[in-house]
Structure 1
Amino acid sequence: MLGLVEPTGCGIGGDLFAIVWDAGDKKLYGLNASGRSPRSLPFSYFAENGLTSIPPHGPLPVSVPGTVDGWFELHAKFGKLPMADNLAPAISYAEQGFPVTQLVAYYWGRSTKNLSKFPGFNETFMPGGKAPAEGDMFRNPRLAKTYRAIAQGGRDAFYKGEIARKIATYMEENGGFLGYEDLASHTSEWVEPVSTNYRGYDVWELPPNGQGIAALQILNILESYDLASMGRTSPDYIHLFTEAKKLVFEDRAKFYADPAFNEIPVKELISKEYAAKRRQLIDPVRASKRLEAGNPALERGDTTYLTVADAEGNMVSLIQSNYRGMGSGMTPADLGFILQDRGEMFSLKEGHFNQYAPGKRPFHTIIPAFVTRDGKPHMSFGVMGGATQPQMHAQIIINMVDFGLNLQEAGDAPRMVHSGSGQPTDEQMTDGGYLSLEDGIPMETRRQLRQMGHSIRFNSGLFGGYQAILQDSDSGVYFGASESRKDGQAAGY
């Protein structure tokens, strides 16, 4: 349904990640449903065509869409209703239409400036030659037809049937490389979530190729400080958080990539010992301008988030995305959806962990999160928004654990976002980046942060979109929270 009504954030042309608490097994499961790059696109192509980075739109950043396979993997392991029943409401709304909401209309209009030049986009997403405005009724009969084919034929209808052939033909006709065999050979991967303990709470993330462990690294570095005594809007806390983020994001730029192509030191990166070493690099009164990634010793051995919990105690933390805006702009045939542009996140630097290679999963920003306490489920949550996500995951935990905020207050509290760190796509931080602070951070705090060497911007950051469910371990009662900055809601029945 979200892929239909919020094509600005996700769709079946994108990828999916999920963490699931199974009440029967009393265990967390992790699913990496991200797709791989086209096998027919060699690394040499980019240099031969004068490219130093992968463009954000068009055919080159398109990787295999993993969402549909992710749905069916989750359904096979945990589902109860027939998939046709699950898809029926979305099919109905796609055929009959729905009113476009304010925020979706805004982002839709912004995306059309870049994407309307790509074949198929206008026919599906610009009825009457323009993007839908707030309150306009929008129909997508092409997507309804695609959903119906998936409901009847399963995941193979998408990856091995007519849909796959249409995608491959469209890409070939429009200068792309994603082919039928890329789709037919696609598989998701069940992975073990990883965690760190923060003041008695086990915070869980998925390992790379996503960026989830960055939140764990930030929490590990900050655990030794008495944040509660500093205060949530104090310059001391905001400075320490920002400096911890800078350190972690240098590791993120160097190490986070597809583990099928690299030996990534996840265990070492999220260890308390490594955090203690990195913590020593923080100057308590001065902002850093340039940092290097650490050297952990190896021991051999744009986005939609949702969370749901049921009466049996099962909880799902799930995130889907087409990546930048509505995706690549590539809108195949009459299928009703846009292919993602996640391949933009590869590095074109030889030897980099995240270097582009055929059949490789790119670095990913979308991350679901989960918290357990004493082995019991405590909270399922996520925060949409690119590189904002691990920063917000850590801030949500700190707001609740250190500053005593409840589930909704933890999301409503003013946020800070640091930008300008080194990136897995080769960008380097040379000037310390900049710090964006929401309204509610006192002016005196901003002045002191400037005096400490931080570059401050007002309300200029991507502050993310938060959703969460918390379960009371004694009563079993669920508490829901939703974002005040964008569309979203908490609902129980």
Structure 2
Amino acid sequence: MKMINTRSVWRPDKDEVVVEHGAVATAHPIAAQVGVDVLKSGGNAVDAAIATGFCLNVIEPWNSSVAGHGQMIVHMAGEGRSVAVDYGHRAPRAATADMFRVIGQTVQGNGIYEVEDRANAIGHRSVGVPGVTAGMCRAHELFGTLPLERLLEPAVHYAREGFEADPHTCLTIARNMPKLVRYGEAARVFLPDGYPPPPGAKVVQRDLADTLERIGREGKDALHRGEIAAAIDEEMRRHGGVLGAQDLADYEAQVLDPVRTSYRGHKLLGSPAPAGTITALQTLNILESFDLRHIAHGSPEHLHLFVEAARHAFADRYSFVGDPDFGPVPLDGILSSKYAREIARSIDREVAKLEDEREAQPWVAYADSPLHDPWRFDPQARPECTIPTSPPSESDCTTHFSVSDRDRHMVACTQTAVAQFGSGVVVPGTGVLLSNGMTVFNPMPGSANSIAGFKRGLNNMTPLLVLRDGRPFLTVGAPGGRRIMCRIANVISNVVDFGMGMQEAITAPSVDAAERETFVDHRIDTETVEALAHMGHNVEVVPEPFTGGGFSRPRGVMIDPDTGLLRAGVQPIGPDEARGY
């Protein structure tokens, strides 16, 4: 029989890390080694996550910052205790629903409102109340075993002495030059000679090193009170920002009970904050009604069922999900297994029912016309009226790291600058890059995700932990905007339904259903793509960019149920790396 192949396809891969004692999966080799060194020196998974996270603030500054935002899910195996530390975006107290002048939808037609001068995305008015330093310090108070100052030493070192710019770093800085040159301090730090650094050049951030040293000594208050807070306040006042010193002083990371669901006997733990976790978990809830183990992985039937389940979950996201402190959210209803089974019964195994030729994106179509009614399955009283939600941004401007230690404590942590290099504003004398948290809100009044003082914005972060037989099994998450949610649900299904290891589950081709089109990985064969189109999917084949992240960039660690060894994997394209010992 002749083998016919009509297309050459790039299929990169990376080795899976298999170790006994501890593993870290992250965005950069330096950060991975920093985490492993902490584990080797006697620190636990939370210690390693804190050191890794602060190191990434230095060596991946376009994706995270000490003045960024994040979520951490922790499971302490010895105690059987799980918590979610939420340090997500909040609007300053002076922020108002009508603070930005909306001039229409974006030219890409993706349904996100465009603001005059992009003031909610770039510059001082785009800055929200930061949370990373508060969140990391709160996690250290709860679970840290090594001194905070010790955990920040690697970040201080790489900020003061510099780190070598790899091609990915150079390309990212070059791509963001228009933003960086708008603000003198950002250009001074990242474009010291007026140009992006060439490969091999040192990126030095001495002011940030001083700030990190102070955080190591003083904890959260180093950023949220005192001289640095005063410098941030002054920078905002001088340039028309709304963030103030009192916002910084009032901010506290929240320690929450994780939201819990199950998938084929596995317990899934995530953050109850307004984030991507809810959508990924609902997708898996719906998929549980289908026996995927008896369907070929990557077949048209498999991908069709996954896309349909995800589309129903996104319909609810775009209709109902927002900050529950500012409006009712039927979280228990959305994650009800009975509700999921009802939705699953409506899915046709051969025909795509939720795709048509409409111009509106789903967040527009479902904003005021819900597809389902999860309130019927929620213990809360149905509100007299509800207001629509709106989506956050889609760009890949986030980082994620997963950690497990010798005691099998596990951490999944996602942090973000919201957009690459955040607001573009670096506070003089501090090295602190301020993230643009206001861009995650709907700038139009009247939605569940509209701006209000000290409100949390809807985001895409999806750090998840999985327990098997009550014991830690898997930690995973990813950067990648709206495509995080499908990818994380896909990775978990790959492990649970198809028996894949961590690296194989991450490397496997994926699909995404967050938008009007069904995005299909270019590695999926032509016959399958054509079959999906025949089923009624509006298929768009997406190539993986050089920098990775076409379908988000998962990083995870799992415990092999047969050997007890740790198996870690990362996105095969880009500098992402897992290490262990």
Q: TM-score, normalised by structure 1?
A: 0.92
Distance 2:371 2:273 in 1: 16
For residue 210 of structure 1, what is the aligned residue in structure 2?
275
Q: Which amino acid aligns with 1:154?
A: G
Moved more, 67-76 or 84-93: 84-93
1:147-176 deviation digits (Å, cap 9, x = unpaired): 112122221111011111111111111121
Distance 1:276 1:343 in 2: 37
2:548 is equivalent to residue 470 of structure 1? no
Q: Is the 8 A contact 1:211 1:256 kept in 2?
A: no
The correspondence for 1:411, drawn from 483, 506, 511, is: 506
Distance 1:314 1:84 in 2: 22
Please report how far the alpha carbon of residue 476 of structure 1 lies from its aligned counterpart in structure 2 after TM superposition. Answer: 4.1
SS of equivalent to 2:498: coil
Distance 1:313 1:418 in 2: 34
Distance 1:212 1:24 in 2: 25
The correspondence for 2:328, drawn from 253, 258, 263, is: 263
SS of equivalent to 1:45: coil
Please report how far the alpha carbon of residue 195 of structure 1 lies from its aligned counterpart in structure 2 after TM superposition. Answer: 2.2
Q: Is the 8 A contact 2:398 2:415 kept in 1?
A: yes
2:518 is equivalent to residue 438 of structure 1? no
SS of equivalent to 1:328: coil
Q: Structure 2: give runs of 5+ residues left out of the alignment.
A: 1-54, 106-112, 356-364, 382-396, 545-549
1:85-141 deviation digits (Å, cap 9, x = unpaired): 111121112111111122232222212223321342101111101122332211111
1:462-484 deviation digits (Å, cap 9, x = unpaired): 31112111124575432222221
Moved more, 20-29 or 224-233: 224-233
SS of equivalent to 1:481: strand
Please report the RMSD computed on the Cα atoms of aligned residues, expressed in angstroms: 2.1
Q: Is the 8 A contact 1:220 1:275 kept in 2?
A: yes
Distance 1:237 1:155 in 2: 47
2:189 is equivalent to residue 113 of structure 1? no
Q: Is the 8 A contact 1:202 1:373 kept in 2?
A: yes
1:208 to 1:151, Cα distance in 2 relative to 1, 3 A: closer
Q: Is the 8 A contact 2:104 2:114 kept in 1?
A: no
1:342-391 deviation digits (Å, cap 9, x = unpaired): 32121234442212111111111122110001111111111221111111
1:216 to 1:161, Cα distance in 2 relative to 1, 3 A: same
Q: Is the 8 A contact 1:115 1:328 kept in 2?
A: no
Please report how far the alpha carbon of residue 228 of structure 1 lies from its aligned counterpart in structure 2 after TM superposition. Answer: 2.7
Distance 2:456 2:169 in 1: 28
Distance 1:176 1:37 in 2: 12
2:67 is equivalent to residue 13 of structure 1? yes
1:275 to 1:349, Cα distance in 2 relative to 1, 3 A: farther
Q: Which amino acid aligns with 1:482?
A: V
Distance 1:293 1:343 in 2: 28
For residue 12 of structure 2, what is the aligned residue in structure 1?
none
For residue 299 of structure 1, what is the aligned residue in structure 2?
379
Distance 1:473 1:232 in 2: 21
Distance 2:252 2:206 in 1: 28
Equivalence map 1:289-368=2 (5 Å): 289=355, 292-297=370-375, 298-300=378-380, 302-368=397-463
SS of equivalent to 1:242: helix
Please report how far the alpha carbon of residue 60 of structure 1 lies from its aligned counterpart in structure 2 after TM superposition. Answer: 2.8
The correspondence for 1:223, drawn from 288, 305, 325, is: 288
SS of equivalent to 1:465: coil
Q: Is the 8 A contact 1:434 1:454 kept in 2?
A: yes
Equivalence map 1:42-191=2 (5 Å): 42-47=96-101, 53=114, 55-191=120-256
Distance 1:203 1:212 in 2: 10
Q: TM-score, normalised by structure 2?
A: 0.79
Q: Which amino acid aligns with 1:299?
A: P
SS of equivalent to 1:344: helix
2:570 is equivalent to residue 482 of structure 1? yes
For residue 36 of structure 2, what is the aligned residue in structure 1?
none
1:68 to 1:47, Cα distance in 2 relative to 1, 3 A: same
SS of equivalent to 2:374: coil
For residue 311 of structure 2, what is the aligned residue in structure 1?
246
Distance 1:220 1:9 in 2: 31
Distance 2:322 2:177 in 1: 31
Please report how far the alpha carbon of residue 419 of structure 1 lies from its aligned counterpart in structure 2 after TM superposition. Answer: 4.1
Distance 2:566 2:543 in 1: 34
For residue 3 of structure 2, what is the aligned residue in structure 1?
none
Identity %: 32
Q: Is the 8 A contact 1:8 1:104 kept in 2?
A: no
Number of residue pairs matched by the alignment = 481
1:285-319 deviation digits (Å, cap 9, x = unpaired): 33323663421123139111111122222211111
1:243-271 deviation digits (Å, cap 9, x = unpaired): 22121112112222222112221111111
SS of equivalent to 1:490: strand
Distance 2:177 2:527 in 1: 41
Distance 1:452 1:319 in 2: 35
Distance 2:501 2:480 in 1: 22
